[in-house]
Amino acid sequence: MTRALFSLAAFAAAVYTFSALWGAVRGAWEGHPTLPPGPFLTHVVILLGSLGYLAFVIYAADRAAGRVRRRIGAFDRLLDREPRG
């Protein structure tokens, strides 16, 4: 249940930040930027982080179902860690 909520929140964050970044880039192309550099970079970090989380969750589900063709070493190391107790 919590993984589904986190995934939904990550997807919503990715959609929102992509929209904000696209508007900022479009505004910059037109000559009037809408986001200063600090918030722009914050949006980039949020977008990359949320997409990375979604990629990890999807990879973990596919790996558990046995549908992984190409292994991703960083994700495998995270999934193979012993839970701390």
Question: What pLDDT digit, counting tens, does each position of 1-51 carry?
Answer: 788 999 999 999 999 999 999 999 999 999 988 889 999 999 999 999 999
pLDDT at 55: 97
List Cα–Cα distances, 1 to 7, 8, 55, 64, 83, in angstroms: 10, 11, 18, 17, 19
Nearest CA-CA partner of 17 in 50, 63, 66, 54 = 50
pLDDT at 1: 72
Domain map (residue ranges) of the chain = 2-80
pTM above 0.75, yes or no: yes
Alpha helices in 1-85 (DSSP H): 2-30, 37-65, 73-80
Cβ-contact 20, 35 below 8 angstroms: yes
For the chain, the distance separating the N- and C-terminal CA atoms, rounded to the nearest angstrom, is 21
